[in-house]
Amino acid sequence: MAVTTANMGHHETATSLRTRLRELHQDIYLARTDGRHTGPLINQAREKLALTAEVVKRTDDTKGFVVPPRPEVAERTLSRLTHPRHVRRYYETPPTTRQAMIPSSMITRTGHPLTTWCD
């Protein structure tokens, strides 16, 4: 997961994230992306990183909301993590601070059922 500043574009973020992905996980060979990340990003993923990039596009004949084959789990997870105030309120802090708050929020949310009293 990467937390970036608001002034970083999709191209810069995708490039750094894919490079980091390849460094940390050599066993991953497929990356799915939406229609924004086409062209040079797909070529870079294939040539420099040895990743197969699959573009999930929305067709024009689809009406309403259609779930793609594999929804982006990271966005859904982050939206659930923003429930605690300390994550939501620190949008002006550096990205490293916000990135450090994500594991803290996960510990709080997953540990809560363990600390409640049950008869």
Quick: pLDDT tens for 67-85: 555 545 555 555 555 555 5
pLDDT in tens, 1-54: 566 676 777 677 777 777 787 788 888 888 777 676 677 777 877 887 888 877
In terms of pLDDT, which residue wins out, 87 or 21? 21
pLDDT recorded at residue 32 = 74
Please answer whether residues 22 and 50 qualify as being in contact, where contact means their C-beta atoms are separated by less than 8 angstroms: yes
Both tokens of 62, joined, read 């689809």
Q: Which of 46-50, 101-105, 107-111 has the highest mean pLDDT?
A: 46-50
In terms of pLDDT, which residue wins out, 85 or 93? 93
- In total, the chain counts a number of residues equal to 119
For residues 87 and 107, what is the distance between their CA atoms, to the nearest angstrom?
A: 13
pLDDT recorded at residue 67 = 57
For residues 49 and 21, what is the distance between their CA atoms, to the nearest angstrom?
A: 9
Please answer whether residues 109 and 116 qualify as being in contact, where contact means their C-beta atoms are separated by less than 8 angstroms: no
